[in-house]
Amino acid sequence: MIQDVVIVGGGVIGLTTAYELAGRGLRVTLLDQQQPGQEASWAGAGILPPAHPGDPTHPLATLCRATNELWPSLSADLRETTGIDNGFRRCGGLGVSEIGDTESLQFEIEAWQKAGVTVESLTAADIEKCEAAVSPEISEAYRLPELAQVRNPRHLKALLVACQKRGVDIHSGQRVIGFERHDTEVLGVKTTHGLYSAGAVVVSAGAWSQELLQGAGCQLQIEPVRGQIVQLSCPQPPFRHVIECGPRYLVPREDGLVLVGATEEWVGYDKQNTAHGLQGLLTFAERLVPSLKDARFERAWAGLRPHTKDGLPFIGEVPGVQNLFVAAGHFRAGLHLSPVTARAISQMIAGETPDLDLAAFLPRVAEANGEE
Ligand SMILES: Cc1cc2nc3c(=O)[nH]c(=O)nc-3n(C[C@H](O)[C@H](O)[C@H](O)COP(=O)(O)OP(=O)(O)OC[C@H]3O[C@@H](n4cnc5c(N)ncnc54)[C@H](O)[C@@H]3O)c2cc1C
């Protein structure tokens, strides 16, 4: 039977897209080379920023505004459908700079102001009142009251159940190795187990998308960037806000778990934790919140973020290759941008006019020669 849509990759992007498409009444098959929801989408920290800092007309600013509008309703729908609370909460965020570096903080505050979100400058006394656990050595900070978080493993679980309830046909252990084509039209995908025909194919294979798309003559640059995370636990949550310092952060969960993230490493498809990576994260955590030295070490992991050269994800149909869509390359923001990405791809496939201008995210193809 020809399915309407085959989705390749069951991370947060593929699962949310499957959920949206099935909600529009399309028949959807989702293929993953392992169990869905085990890669970057599981490994992430689940920080959902209130905006894209800086120029409010930047394409990513538009995408962020739209995705932030979708998170509350998507979370409520998933809870109603599955009974699973994905942990979506507006916990707020604190931005701090490296101890002694106050210049970068002012720059960040201005970028958030430019983006049009509420940002409050905090003195040392304000910080103590707001989050007493933060080191007294941090004398300046800012607060983003609208920053939110989601517990991504729970969100993925909810998406999986919700997809099943909407009739999405999910196949684990199905590695897609190529595309079935006629001239410039994609007719389906080839897996290690056989052929899946489709009216449309969506590639949402995260950091693995580049090699896959080469098989369709589509040269998109998407590289893996490793991020390591340490999970600690405390008897009580030691603070309420997500605390960010440049690319590193502390994320408190309501049950006392604290995530310490993350490294940014260009080491190919290597997902191991390293002594250097973990040591750096633990030192960072203790410097920011000294009481974390007594926290219990629970575990550590790493995931591979899909990075594109210009920092913009690919969202759209591959030019010159009919019926082949890409939703990949979201780097550090794939959880955050998953609702809007899924909405946009679903609108395109369902023949609706996307409610956002997606020109900046169209896949840019170096070569489309009709070969498989
Ligand atoms: C440490 C870390 C922290 C992060 N923190 C945040 C955060 O706080 N907020 C945020 O918004 N984002 C965060 N991110 C980024 C976010 O996790 C990613 O951008 C997002 O998960 C990408 O989702 P995806 O669905 O594209 O990819 P993935 O989740 O990697 O899913 C891709 C799927 O495709 C499957 N696949 C690959 N190749 C094939 C094939 N040939 N055939 C079949 N299946 C295939 C894989 O098995 C996998 O299941 C973080 C990432 C990391 C690593």
Query: 16: CA distance to ligand 1 center in Å?
Result: 12
Task: List the residue whose alpha carbon is closest to atom 52 of ligand 1.
Answer: 44
- Residue 319 has what pLDDT? 87
- Residue 288 has what pLDDT? 96
Task: Express each pLDDT in 154-189 by its tens digit.
Answer: 999 999 999 999 999 999 999 999 999 999 999 999
Cα radius of gyration (the chain) = 21
Spell out the CATH class of 93-145+224-308. Answer: alpha beta
User: What is the model's pTM?
Assistant: 0.96
Q: Which residues contact 246 (CB under 8 A, 6 or more apart)?
A: 97, 98, 104
Which of 19, 29, 30, 32 has most ligand 1 atoms within 8 Å of its beta carbon, as the pocket-test mutant? 32
- Residue 370 has what pLDDT? 41
- Residue 3 has what pLDDT? 60
Using the atom order of ligand 1, give the atom closest to the CA of residue 334.
19
| Domain range summary for the chain, segments of one domain joined by + | 3-84+152-221+310-361, 93-145+224-308
Match 């001239």 to its residue by tokens: 183
Task: Express each pLDDT in 273-326 by its tens digit.
Answer: 999 999 999 999 999 999 999 999 999 999 999 999 999 999 999 988 999 999
Query: 124: CA distance to ligand 1 center in Å?
Result: 37
Query: 153: CA distance to ligand 1 center in Å?
Result: 12
Mean pLDDT of the chain: 94
In the structure encoding, which two tokens stand for residue 249, read together?
A: 């952060």
pLDDT band at 218 (very low <50, low <70, confident <90, very high): confident
- Residue 102 has what pLDDT? 66
pLDDT band at 97 (very low <50, low <70, confident <90, very high): confident
CA-CA distance, 308 to 328, in Å (whole number)?
Answer: 9
- Residue 371 has what pLDDT? 37
In the structure encoding, which two tokens stand for residue 74, read together?
A: 């998507």
Task: List the residue whose alpha carbon is closest to atom 50 of ligand 1.
Answer: 44
Q: Which residues contact 25 (CB under 8 A, 6 or more apart)?
A: none
Lowest-pLDDT range of 72-86, 90-104, 219-233, 318-332: 90-104
Is residue 368 over pLDDT 70? no
Query: 100: CA distance to ligand 1 center in Å?
Result: 35
Task: List the residue whose alpha carbon is closest to atom 26 of ligand 1.
Answer: 206
The set of protein residues with a Cβ atom below 6 angstroms from ligand 1 is: 8-14, 31-34, 36, 38-41, 43-47, 175-176, 204-208, 212, 227, 229, 261-262, 303, 305-306, 328, 330-336
Query: 227: CA distance to ligand 1 center in Å?
Result: 11
Domain 3-84+152-221+310-361 has CATH 3.50.50.60: yes
Is residue 365 over pLDDT 70? no
Is residue 49 over pLDDT 60? yes
Using the atom order of ligand 1, give the atom closest to the CA of residue 261.
1
Q: What is the side-by-side strand order in the sheet with 242-245?
A: 120-122, 141-144, 93-95, 242-245, 248-252, 257-261, 222-233, 296-308
> What is the CB neighbour count within 10 angstroms for residue 6?
28
